[in-house]
């Protein structure tokens, strides 16, 4: 029997298989007015299709904990009840299909206030309905990007409180997995890396200081997230920088701390904190990062990055390199990837009765 299509239990939650959907921003939320940040029909259709296709867990895209935490004006938010109601429609449908709904809670930090990717993704000035980004240090992400405002200690604590409020809202919206976004050069990841964190206080300098904010967010969210439900953390395993960056060794060391602080699974990606770095991509190129964390810390992991073929995904899970695979672009191309993979590997996924003629 296929390992990929065996259930997987974390705390009291059982996920029906190990084919999971990675969080991928759609930049399609309501962009203005009282519904700003709310999910739209696009989000419902997008996530519903992958649930009907047999995906075991869907992690809804980076969802901002505050207006200033959005990457773009089109980002989802979860700081008010209107947004909660728009997301509950999605979680209800996912559960009806047997899919576990999860959400990634995020703050974009210095990479905030940019335009939609298909409109160029350039920074949006406050004069043009953008906003001022914040960061651990006043270091811009790239040339042409604004100098972010350095957060004070009081403001850091306020952002932690925003993550807590977002976690409570996520529960009210019907999500069963919460993932804290600490990857890809967004705010928590900016604190982790010496490339972007040049502070001289308790939140900068040493490894212990740079991970402090991330652990405080984890502790605060874990305190309000039900004990019966799992908490994930997404990390960039490396900045892919030759010097003065976050490294694989840092990730393993941090993963052990995250496990102690109540994180149940590490979602292992890489990069995003420095522009124009050279990343040697290829099929499964990030899987070794996840495998090392799992082997050296015992923390459960999910692998992501150019996982496209059923046999490839099966091998990753069956050989113990990861506990699950997260598919991104492949699920954009094929919403029913899980169903096809189950046929190829001798596994099973639920099929909506409306689609039984396709089996």
State the pairing for strand pair 149-150/57-64. unpaired
pLDDT at 126 exceeding the cut of 90: no
In the set 47, 186, 203, 355, the catalytic residue is: 186
What is the reported pTM? 0.97
pLDDT band at 243 (very low <50, low <70, confident <90, very high): confident
Q: Are 65 and 166 in contact (CB under 8 A)?
A: yes
Exposure on the CB side of residue 65, measured as CA atoms within 13 A: 26
pLDDT of amino acid 125: 86
Quick one: pLDDT band at residue 56, thresholds 50, 70, 90? very high
- For residue 1, name the pLDDT band (cuts at 50, 70, 90): confident
- Residue 88 CB burial class (10 angstroms; 0-12, 13-18, ≥19): middle
pLDDT higher than 90, residue 93:
yes
8 A C-beta contact, residue 193 and residue 273: yes
8-352 — its CATH code?
3.20.20.70
Length of the chain as a residue count: 359
Mean pLDDT, residues 4-27 taken together: 98
Between CA 264 and CA 255 the distance in angstroms is 10
pLDDT greater than 90 at residue 330? yes
186 as an active site residue: the answer is yes
**In this predicted model, what pLDDT tens digit does every residue of 272-326 receive, in sequence order?**
999 999 999 999 999 999 999 999 999 999 999 999 999 999 999 999 999 999 9
Q: What is the pLDDT of residue 358?
A: 86
pLDDT tens-digit map of 245-262:
999 999 999 999 999 999
The CA-based angle 167-172-176, given to 5 degrees, is: 70
The tokens for 113 are 């206030």
pLDDT in tens, 160-218: 999 999 999 999 999 999 999 999 999 999 999 999 999 999 999 999 999 999 999 99
Spell out the residues 6+ positions from residue 275 whose beta carbon is closer than 8 angstroms to its own. Answer: 141, 142
| Predicted pLDDT at 284 | 97
Nearest to 134 by CA among 116, 152, 119: 152
pLDDT at residue number 110: 98
Would you list the domain boundaries of the chain?
Answer: 8-352
Query: What region, left, alpha or beta, does residue 166 occupy, with left being phi > 0 and alpha being psi -120 to 50 degrees?
Result: alpha
| Spatial separation of the C-alpha atoms in residues 115 and 125, rounded to whole Å | 10
């Amino acid at each position: 029997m296929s390992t990929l299509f065996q259930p997987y239990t974390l705390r009291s939650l059982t996920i029906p298989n190990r084919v999971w959907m990675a969080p991928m921003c759609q930049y399609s939320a309501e962009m203005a007015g009282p519904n700003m940040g709310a999910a739209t029909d696009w989000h419902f259709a997008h996530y519903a299709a992958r649930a009907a296709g047999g995906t075991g867990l869907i992690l809804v895209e980076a969802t901002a904990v505050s207006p200033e935490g959005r990457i773009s004006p089109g980002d989802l938010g979860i700081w008010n009840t209107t947004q909660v109601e728009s997301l509950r429609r999605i979680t209800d449908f996912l559960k009806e299909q047997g899919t576990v709904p999860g959400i990634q809670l995020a703050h974009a930090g210095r990479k905030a206030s940019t335009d939609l990717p298909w409109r160029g993704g350039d920074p949006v000035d406050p004069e043009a309905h953008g906003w001022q980004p914040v960061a651990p240090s006043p270091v811009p992400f790239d040339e042409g990007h604004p100098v972010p405002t350095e957060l004070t200690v009081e403001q850091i604590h306020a952002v932690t409180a925003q993550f807590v409020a977002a976690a409570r809202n996520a529960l009210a919206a019907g999500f069963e997995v919460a993932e804290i976004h600490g990857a890809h050069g967004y705010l928590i990841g900016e604190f982790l890396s010496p490339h972007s964190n040049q502070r001289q206080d308790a939140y900068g300098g040493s490894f212990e200081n740079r991970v402090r904010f991330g652990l405080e967010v984890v502790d605060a969210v874990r305190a309000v997230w039900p004990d019966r439900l799992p908490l994930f953390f997404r990390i960039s395993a490396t900045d892919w920088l030759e010097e003065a960056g976050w490294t694989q060794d840092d990730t393993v060391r941090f993963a052990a701390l995250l496990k102690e602080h109540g994180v149940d699974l590490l979602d292992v990606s890489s990069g995003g904190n420095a522009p124009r770095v050279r990343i040697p991509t290829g099929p499964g190129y990030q899987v070794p990062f996840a495998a090392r964390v799992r082997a050296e810390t015992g923390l459960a992991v999910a692998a992501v990055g150019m996982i496209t073929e059923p046999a490839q995904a099966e091998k990753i899970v069956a050989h113990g390199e990861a506990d699950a695979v997260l598919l991104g672009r492949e699920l954009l191309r094929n919403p029913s990837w899980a169903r096809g993979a189950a046929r190829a590997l001798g596994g099973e996924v639920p099929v909506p009765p409306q689609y039984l003629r396709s089996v």
